[in-house]
Amino acid sequence: MKKRKILYISMSIPYDNVPHAGGKTFNYYINGFANDIDNEVTMIAKVLPEEEHQIENINPNINTIIVRTPKNKVKKYISYIKSLNSKINPLYRYGNVLTKEIFNQIGNELDKLKNTGYVPDIVILEWTWMLLFIDQVKKRFPNAKYIASEHDVSFLGAQRQYENAKGFKKIYKKLYYNNLYKREILSINKCDYVVTHNAKDKKLLLKNGVEQSKLGVIVPYINLPEQVARKNINKNILFYGAMNRIENEISAEWFIKNVMPEIKDTGAKYVILGHSERRAYYGETVAILEEKVKLALANGLTPIFCIGEVLEEREANKQNEVVAAQMESVFSLSAEDFSKIVLAYEPVWAIGTGKTATPEQAQEIHAHIRSLVAAKYGQEVAENTSILYGGSCKPSNAKELFANPDVDGGLIGGAALKAADFKGIIDAFK
């Protein structure tokens, strides 16, 4: 029997433990298609530099074609400036994660596929931004059925930003919103079918003229059965999604005012800030994190502030410079407030990769971090500051890592999900 040929075009690669909700949903469904013997799945996907090591974890049943943004920061910004989808251009900001260079790369890969005789039966444009490609894909494969996976209705977020903006910013946001609305609705109407990820977005698209016959809803995949099943606690809160998005400011504000006090009453004390994934995926800057740290302290929470370098920076021996720059987010604090926070060094190149900093490497960078604190606040504050290690710590290496004088403990990720592994790490302190 002839296999169904499915072509995915995505802004992200699918892999297990992807750190964002949309990615988890995408990973679940594309693997379902790829593991079905009746399907032949080809994917063209953009990969971020920090996700390069995850390419090997993509399902081997997926014929994967990778496109990349420039690693060099200067080249990357030049690419943005040259792009019609530049962040600085409100008329073309829709799809700002996609530069002209990426557009051209994907176009070239589509041509290569076509020249081999490849003809897809179904084209799935995964993520809202990929709708931008519908014209150039249709030009090459006019007879395919086109499906849009609308993880978000992006113009709604733009509308909220516009309505809440003031002054010149309101004019800018209005241009952005008007253009986005026009381009998103136009692209959706060119698809044969559109999948939203909640009923609310389906209703919104219906209201804006999209035909009901081409609209459907899929429920995001949640792999948290043990959390969903918990019934022995007075208050069960399960949030699946991202409250950190700009368009969710109103809901986040409501959550902080109405829910956070109840959470604090249950004993919540800590908040993790500056995690590498937040810096990479959400562009959290020194200034943004400085504000978040101060907000956490003002609300009685203890920030666990993460710092650390990516592989490229480690190989260039720039780890000391990197952590020093990241520490600027907390060095505006008074000595009294700084003494309330916890630092966590996380070598990004060792998170989820199986690689681990040697005990010697961990001690060296931890000692450097403590020296930065001493230079800013004095030796007493530095000695009393807890600096945790957070890079693939496991029972087999915990004792050696924690034996270092400047490693005060661990920020445990994956190993904490397995009781035996977590206990093994705890036992390393004995």
pLDDT at residue 85 greater than cutoff 60: no
CB 6 within 8 A of CB 42: yes
pTM for this prediction = 0.61
Strand-pair category, 39-47 with 4-10? parallel
Residue 209's alpha-carbon distances to 94, 147, 178, 185, 401, in angstroms, are: 20, 17, 16, 8, 59
Q: Read off the DSSP letter of residue 385.
A: -
**Edge-to-edge strands of the sheet including 39-47?**
62-68, 39-47, 4-10, 122-126, 145-150, 193-196, 215-217
**Across residues 365-384, what is the average pLDDT?**
96
pLDDT at residue 373 greater than cutoff 50: yes
Most confident of 69-78, 80-89, 392-401: 392-401
In the three-class reduction of DSSP (H, G, I as helix; E, B as strand; rest coil), residue 14 is classed as coil
Q: List the chain domain ranges.
A: 4-217, 269-427
Record: fold of 4-217 = Rossmann fold (3.40.50)
Record: fold of 269-427 = TIM Barrel (3.20.20)
Separation between Cα atoms, residue 76 and residue 185, nearest integer Å: 29
Of 335 and 180, the one with more pLDDT? 335
Separation between Cα atoms, residue 332 and residue 23, nearest integer Å: 35
pLDDT tens column, 6-43: 999 998 899 987 877 788 889 999 999 999 999 999 99
pLDDT of residue 227: 46
In the three-class reduction of DSSP (H, G, I as helix; E, B as strand; rest coil), residue 364 is classed as helix
Which of 317, 333, 310 shows the shortest CA–CA distance to 368? 317
Average pLDDT, the chain: 84
For the chain, percent of residues with pLDDT exceeding 90: 43
Spatial CB neighbours of 345, under 8 Å, sequence gap ≥ 6: 306, 307, 308, 323, 362, 365, 366, 369, 387, 388, 389, 390, 391
Residue 7's alpha-carbon distances to 24, 41, 65, 135, 187, in angstroms, are: 19, 6, 11, 15, 18
Give the number of other Cβ atoms within 10 Å of residue 224's Cβ. Answer: 10
Where do we find the tokens 């964002």? Answer: 20
pLDDT at residue 169 greater than cutoff 80: yes
**Across residues 313-322, what is the average pLDDT?**
91
Residue 210 token pair = 């999209």
pLDDT tens column, 327-356: 999 999 999 999 999 999 999 888 766 576
Where do we find the tokens 């087999």? Answer: 396
pLDDT at residue 119 greater than cutoff 60: yes
Residue 262's alpha-carbon distances to 222, 227, 267, in angstroms, are: 25, 19, 9
CB 242 within 8 A of CB 233: no
Place 76 in a pLDDT band, splitting at 50, 70 and 90.
Answer: low
pLDDT at residue 229 greater than cutoff 70: no
Which residues are annotated as catalytic?
A: 275, 346
CB 424 within 8 A of CB 394: yes
Which of 144, 133, 195 shows the shortest CA–CA distance to 9? 133
Residue 167 token pair = 């002054």
137-146, 284-293, 334-343: the lowest-pLDDT one: 284-293
pLDDT of residue 418: 81
